[in-house]
């Protein structure tokens, strides 16, 4: 192996990591992860057997099918939060409701582990909002002294104060122009024609 191939592999790992980071930032990633982690113990514990030496302890209850359904639905909601984040509010509410239903149905919500994870995932999904794209601001050092950005107008006194070196407070506030109304409308004593 040459040293070039190691650098090449490192580049691919970095690119994959950056793509994953971008993908993760555009959706409620942690909400989906916690919801999936909440669904796994809820679905698993009713079908699990613990072996303590020669003794087998079966934790299966009469609500095994209900636990499996709740667990599979929570895993599905977690994947929905990842891949179809438009319905994140519905998925969050459904995850919270399923977590609450899992307390009496699924061995106290997967021995409270699944309940807490699903509750946290649903709450994170409800509170997540897509980020606003950051607009780039032009540096002020490159703007010539007498020019104003679009939509701003300065009076002659403001421009001379700026050129003479005096500080001018509020110079970035646009001047309001008087509103232009149509004054040709007939006024009939405040009454309309139908009255």
Instruction: Judge contact between 117 and 37, C-beta under 8 A.
Output: yes
Residue by residue, pLDDT tens for the chain (195 residues) are 455 555 566 788 888 999 999 888 888 999 999 999 999 999 888 877 777 788 877 666 666 788 889 999 999 999 999 999 889 999 999 999 999 999 988 888 888 999 999 999 999 999 998 877 777 665 555 555 555 555 555 555 555 544 555 555 555 656 667 666 655 555 555 555 554
| Residue-level pLDDT at 149 | 55
| Residue-level pLDDT at 45 | 82
Instruction: Judge contact between 110 and 38, C-beta under 8 A.
Output: yes
């Amino acid at each position: 192996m040459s040293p070039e191939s190691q650098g090449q592999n490192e580049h691919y790992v970095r690119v994959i990591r950056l793509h994953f980071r971008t993908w993760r930032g555009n959706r409620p990633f942690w909400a989906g992860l916690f919801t999936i982690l909440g669904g796994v113990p809820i679905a698993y514990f009713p079908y699990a057997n613990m072996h303590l030496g020669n003794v087998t302890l079966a934790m299966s209850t009469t609500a095994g099918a209900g636990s499996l359904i709740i667990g599979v639905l929570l895993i599905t909601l977690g994947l929905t939060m990842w891949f179809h984040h438009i319905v994140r509010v519905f998925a969050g509410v459904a995850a919270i409701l399923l977590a609450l239903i899992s307390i009496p149905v699924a061995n106290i919500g997967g021995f409270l582990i699944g309940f807490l994870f699903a509750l946290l995932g649903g709450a994170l999904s409800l509170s997540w909002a897509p980020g606003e794209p950051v607009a780039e601001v032009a540096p002020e050092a490159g703007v010539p002294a007498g020019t104003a950005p679009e939509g701003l107008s300065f009076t002659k006194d403001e421009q001379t104060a700026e050129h003479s070196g005096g500080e001018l407070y509020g110079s970035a506030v646009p001047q309001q122009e008087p509103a232009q109304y149509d004054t040709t409308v007939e006024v009939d004593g405040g009454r309309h024609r139908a009255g």
